[in-house]
Amino acid sequence: MKQVNEEYFMQAVGNADEINELLRRYGVKFGIYKNGVFNEQFFPFDPIPRVISAEDFRAIEKGLVQRVNALNEFLFDIYHDKKIVSDGIIPEDFIYISKGYLAECEGITPKNKVYSHISGIDLVQAKDGEWYILEDNLRIPSGASYPLIARELTRIAAPQAFSENRIVDNRGYAELLKETMEYSNCGGIRAILTPGRYNAAYFEHSYLAEHTGSVLVQNDELFVEDNVLYQRTYSGSKTRIGVLYRRIADEYLDPLTFLPESLIGIPNLMEAYRSGNVGIVNAPGNGVADDKGIYYFVPKMIKYYLGEEPILKNAPTYLPFYDEDMKYVMDNLEKLVIKDVAEAGGYGVVFGSDLTKEKLEEFRKTIIAEPRRFIAQEVIDFLDLPILDNGETVMRKADLRAFVLSGEKTKVWASGLTRFSRNPDSFVVNSSQGGGFKDTWVLSQ
Amino acid sequence: MGTISIEHSDRLYWLGRYTERFFITLRSLDRLYDKMIDDKYGYREYLVNFGLNDSYTDSLDFIRSFLYDENNPNSAAYCLERAYDNGIVLREEISSKTLSFLQMAKDTLTKSQDKPNVRLSLLPLKDILYSFWGSINEHIYDDEIRNIIYIGKTLERLDLYMRMRFPFATVEKEFIRLCKNLHRVPKDTPFRYNTKYLSILVETLGTREDYEKDTCKALKSLGHLFDAEEVRV
């Protein structure tokens, strides 16, 4: 905080209502299903920005580029020679049992060998200032649009906060995304595939389509003919799609390859992709690399593929799959956080300290019965961030989702989504769990 | 052009229709508010125009329902919600700025419910809608896209004006406006007019006498204006 001009910094805080009003006006929402009913909620914005110093950001940037490059190498390897398995770095159990591993992607090389075009890497800063990676999201990480539009509107509501502080302009995300999509374009227009208006992240889909100049499409507008993907137009003609930034999960992408009951997929899309006629952003099958179990091995991947020491640390993690780790987990369950590897969005996260004695014993048995299903992590003492709560400043847990885009080069967006928990006793920051977001200022010097 | 899908062309058309229906409903209710100062049952003629029964306890009940009841398909709130439903899936075509005016309209309408003078609190809605249309002109570069929205808008206006028995001079102006938009539609696209029904409209809206005599026929033809042409062998 000392590196920013606090007087003007507080200008943003003083205009909190105006900023939230503008965000509301621009429809910054996310959808949530509760008891089977769809509700759209405004994503609460906190005006006190997270500030990351230029020096900190340089280190984070370097670490993230390294990590994502290694993950891309891993994905290529896993769907081809699997050297990392044959060399004994990762046990094969962790590959083939992973829900994210898709045998249907074996042998496919996406254009320019990029698998994870947009990586959402979740980090937390501990009280000692050290940054830790919490998880990698390499399938369809969402959230970039929120800080993007928030910055646009905050600059209107609190201009001096920006003129008096040296903050890197983050408004080039759409351009970066466009470049990334173009790098994987196999000839045709850019399109963003959405499951539709009632998807939780629909605002983001449409906002990014608007700002990247891509066409926002749903499956019923698309078809594959002679292994080429087309959009059906209203005049009866067809337009070729060269790159598809899909915002639907792998298993729903193509009913002829994956789930036959999928109503939101495009028949034969995988054939078009396999033939190299369309780029799919992110590549199907990436789930094998962002599996919470694989997370444990990412530092090993960095050494294996890049021959480098990892710059960013993982949160200390234990795999009950290994006997030694199982023993540690059993002995320390009450102070660890346990994550179900198959869950996402803040679900399947259990803090041992929150469980009663009976529940703890019950959970212990579940872990012993299904060791591959869980990972255990030390609870990191997050650095709390100030947020404004009914006019008062209170401290809350927050994380940072950094966005790393892989095109010709791997680039880290100098911003990110800082999410915070509104509940003082919670570490869970996901919007679906009631969390809010704030702007992330990366200082230029 | 070429990248607009059938689904989106339909959404564009209904965005135009529902936004206009919202605007005209609002304007009509504003007039009724005024009329009901002198005649507490002044709203009944409006119901008759649309073939609706008077099931309202009083004028306040009527106004509440036609302004705010989202379950009443003739209410301003219902029309605005449908306009928004169509607009939200068209963000990349109409722009976030344009869409933001619909969100503003929704917020203004909702907030007006709690204001002591509803009529006064609804006044900014007109400005918001004029801004919406200004934004449509400003931010949509593709003439075909803009034209589809305008076809929806002008067709809706013509339809409502005829149902509300507006004077011939006003209806005629709107019909000419619709014809201009229709002539910009490329062949073999969904909003290309059906020659047969357009001819009937030209006939029935040719003179004041014809209009007064054949309003029902004109309304029916308007409803079939985009039916596919019959193929003659």
pLDDT of residue A326: 96
More confident residue, A121 or A31: A121
Please tell me the least confidently modeled range out of A159-168, A222-231, A326-335, B76-85.
Answer: A159-168
Helices A323-332 and A357-369, axial angle in degrees (round to 10): 170
More confident residue, A45 or B229: A45
CATH code, A334: 3.30.1490.270
Nearest to B32 by CA among B17, B50, B19, B18: B50
Q: Which of A25, A196, A239 sits opposite B103 (nearest CB)?
A: A25
pLDDT of residue A33: 75
Separation of alpha carbons A276 and A266, rounded Å: 16
Asked if residue A344 and residue A240 are part of one domain, the reply reads no
In a domain, B153, yes or no: no
Separation of alpha carbons B134 and B191, rounded Å: 23
pLDDT > 60? residue A343: yes
Confidence of residue B233 (pLDDT cuts 50, 70, 90): low
Asked if residue A398 and residue A368 are part of one domain, the reply reads no
Could you give the C-alpha distances from B178 to B133, B137, B155, B185, B198, in angstroms and in order? 16, 17, 6, 11, 11
**Which chain A residue lies closest to B95 (C-alpha atoms)?**
A210
Tell me the percentage of chain B whose pLDDT exceeds 70.
98
Residues of A in contact with B105 (CB under 8 A): none
pLDDT > 80? residue A346: no
Residues of A in contact with B5 (CB under 8 A): 217, 221, 231-234
**Which chain B residue lies closest to A221 (C-alpha atoms)?**
B5
Asked if residue A267 and residue A357 are part of one domain, the reply reads no
Per-residue pLDDT, averaged over A354-374, amounts to 92
Separation of alpha carbons B158 and B88, rounded Å: 25
**Which chain B residue lies closest to A214 (C-alpha atoms)?**
B92
Beta-bridged to residue A189, according to DSSP, are A241
Which phi and psi angles does A231 have, rounded to 5°? -105, 135
pLDDT > 50? residue B203: yes
Separation of alpha carbons A239 and A222, rounded Å: 9
| Among candidate residues B122, B140, B158, the one where a domain is terminated | B140
Which is it for strands A279-281 and A238-246: parallel, antiparallel or unpaired?
parallel
Asked if residue B116 and residue B23 are part of one domain, the reply reads yes
Q: Residue holding tokens 């891509």?
A: A214
Neighbouring C-alpha atoms within 13 Å toward the C-beta of A297? 24
Residue A303 DSSP label: I
B99–A233 C-beta distance less than 8 A:
no
In a domain, B158, yes or no: no
Q: What are the structure tokens assigned to A280, written together?
A: 């799919």
Confidence of residue A208 (pLDDT cuts 50, 70, 90): very high
Residues of A in contact with B1 (CB under 8 A): 233, 235
In a domain, A273, yes or no: yes
| Among candidate residues A341, A362, A378, the one where a domain is terminated | A378
In a domain, B154, yes or no: no
Asked if residue A253 and residue A155 are part of one domain, the reply reads yes
Separation of alpha carbons B153 and A143, rounded Å: 35
Residues of B in contact with A197 (CB under 8 A): 85, 88-89
Per-residue pLDDT, averaged over A325-344, amounts to 90
Nearest to A131 by CA among A436, A412, A437, A401: A401
pLDDT in tens, A46-70: 989 999 999 999 999 999 999 999 9
pLDDT > 70? residue B166: yes
Asked if residue A281 and residue A140 are part of one domain, the reply reads yes
In a domain, A173, yes or no: yes
Beta-bridged to residue A132, according to DSSP, are A124, A313
Tell me the percentage of chain A whose pLDDT exceeds 90.
70
Separation of alpha carbons A188 and A205, rounded Å: 20
In a domain, A331, yes or no: yes
Probe site for chain A from B89, B100, B131, B189 (most A CB atoms < 10 A): B89
Separation of alpha carbons A292 and A354, rounded Å: 21
In a domain, B217, yes or no: yes
In a domain, B159, yes or no: no
**Which chain B residue lies closest to A208 (C-alpha atoms)?**
B92
B95–A234 C-beta distance less than 8 A:
no
pLDDT of residue A8: 64
Separation of alpha carbons A80 and A61, rounded Å: 29
Total tally of structural domains belonging to chain B:
2
A210–B95 C-beta distance less than 8 A:
yes
Distance to chain B for A206, nearest Cα, Å = 6
List strand residue ranges (DSSP E) for A43-160, in order. 45-52, 118-125, 131-137
Probe site for chain B from A234, A235, A237, A240 (most B CB atoms < 10 A): A234
DSSP secondary structure letters along chain B: -----HHHHHHHHHHHHHHHHHHHHHHHHHHHHHHHHH-TTTTHHHHHHTT-----SSHHHHHHHHHH-TTSTTSHHHHHHHHHHHHHTTHHHH-HHHHHHHHHHHHHHHHHTTSS-HHHHHHHHHHHHHHHHHHHHHH---HHHHHHHHHHHHHHHHHHHHHTT--HHHHHHHHHHHHHHHTTSPTTSTTPPPHHHHHHHHHHTSSHHHHHHSHHHHHHHHHTTTSPPPPP-
Total tally of structural domains belonging to chain A:
2
Separation of alpha carbons A344 and B11, rounded Å: 34
Beta-bridged to residue A194, according to DSSP, are none
B1–A197 C-beta distance less than 8 A:
no
Asked if residue A355 and residue A429 are part of one domain, the reply reads no
Asked if residue A357 and residue A249 are part of one domain, the reply reads no
**Which chain B residue lies closest to A195 (C-alpha atoms)?**
B89
Asked if residue A124 and residue A32 are part of one domain, the reply reads yes
Strand, helix or coil for residue A100 = coil
Strand, helix or coil for residue A63 = helix
Separation of alpha carbons B120 and B111, rounded Å: 12
pLDDT > 80? residue A34: no
pLDDT of residue A18: 82
In a domain, B130, yes or no: yes
B99–A27 C-beta distance less than 8 A:
yes
Per-residue pLDDT, averaged over B73-96, amounts to 96
Nearest to B47 by CA among B75, B13, B11, B71: B75
pLDDT in tens, B26-69: 999 999 999 998 898 999 999 999 999 999 999 999 999 999 99
In a domain, B227, yes or no: yes
Any A CB within 8 A of B103 CB: yes
A222: which residues sit within 8 A by CB, 6+ positions away? A191, A193, A229, A230, A231, A232, A241, A266, A269
Asked if residue A214 and residue A141 are part of one domain, the reply reads yes
In a domain, B186, yes or no: yes
Which is it for strands A215-217 and A189-193: parallel, antiparallel or unpaired?
parallel
Could you give the C-alpha distances from B208 to A167, B45, B171, B211, B218, in angstroms and in order? 66, 22, 10, 5, 13
Asked if residue A351 and residue A252 are part of one domain, the reply reads no
Asked if residue B230 and residue B191 are part of one domain, the reply reads yes
Any A CB within 8 A of B110 CB: no
pLDDT > 70? residue A9: no
Confidence of residue B228 (pLDDT cuts 50, 70, 90): confident
Give the structural domain span for A88. Answer: 6-310+381-442
Nearest to A405 by CA among A222, A173, A249, A234: A173
Nearest to A366 by CA among A399, A339, A398: A339
Separation of alpha carbons B184 and A380, rounded Å: 64
pLDDT in tens, A268-319: 999 999 999 999 999 999 999 998 889 999 999 999 999 999 999 999 999 9
Confidence of residue B1 (pLDDT cuts 50, 70, 90): very low
Asked if residue B45 and residue B115 are part of one domain, the reply reads yes
pLDDT in tens, A235-249: 889 999 999 999 999
Cis peptide before A282 (omega within 30 of 0): yes
**Which chain A residue lies closest to B139 (C-alpha atoms)?**
A210
Asked if residue A168 and residue A76 are part of one domain, the reply reads yes
Interface confidence: ipTM more than 0.95: no
Could you give the C-alpha distances from A99 to A28, A95, A261, A391, B100, in angstroms and in order? 32, 9, 18, 45, 40
In a domain, A1, yes or no: no
Residues of A in contact with B2 (CB under 8 A): 233, 235, 237, 239
pLDDT in tens, A401-429: 999 999 999 999 999 999 998 888 777 77
Distance to chain B for A156, nearest Cα, Å = 15
**Which chain B residue lies closest to A241 (C-alpha atoms)?**
B3
Separation of alpha carbons A103 and A101, rounded Å: 6
Asked if residue A390 and residue A372 are part of one domain, the reply reads no
Asked if residue B132 and residue B206 are part of one domain, the reply reads no
Residue A409 DSSP label: S
A189–B3 C-beta distance less than 8 A:
yes
A162-196 burial, b at 16+ Cβ within 10 Å, e below that, comes to: beebebbebeebbebbbbbbebbbbebbbbbbbbe
Stretch 134-193 of chain B: residues touching chain A, C-beta under 8 Å: 186, 188-190
pLDDT of residue B62: 95
Query: Residues of A near B (CB-CB distance < 8 A)?
Result: 24-27, 149, 189, 196-197, 202, 206-207, 209-210, 213-218, 220-221, 231-237, 239
Asked if residue B129 and residue B86 are part of one domain, the reply reads yes
Per-residue pLDDT, averaged over A164-188, amounts to 95
Asked if residue B97 and residue B175 are part of one domain, the reply reads no
Give the structural domain span for B123. Answer: 6-140
Size of interface A-B (CB pairs under 8 A): 75
pLDDT > 60? residue B90: yes
Strand, helix or coil for residue A61 = helix
Could you give the C-alpha distances from B152 to B9, B177, B191, B193, in angstroms and in order? 11, 12, 10, 13
B8–A234 C-beta distance less than 8 A:
yes
pLDDT of residue A15: 78
Q: What is the mean pLDDT of chain A?
A: 91
B4–A234 C-beta distance less than 8 A:
yes
Asked if residue B105 and residue B21 are part of one domain, the reply reads yes
Residues of A in contact with B107 (CB under 8 A): 24-25
Beta-bridged to residue A374, according to DSSP, are A340
A234–B9 C-beta distance less than 8 A:
yes
Asked if residue B183 and residue B104 are part of one domain, the reply reads no
Q: Which of B3, B104, B186 sits opposite A25 (nearest CB)?
A: B104
Tell me the percentage of chain B whose pLDDT exceeds 90.
88
- The residue type of A181 is M
Asked if residue B219 and residue B104 are part of one domain, the reply reads no
Q: Which of A26, A221, A233 sits opposite B96 (nearest CB)?
A: A26
Q: For residue A323, with 0-12 CB atoms within 10 Å meaning exposed, 13-18 middle and 19 or more buried, which class applies?
A: exposed
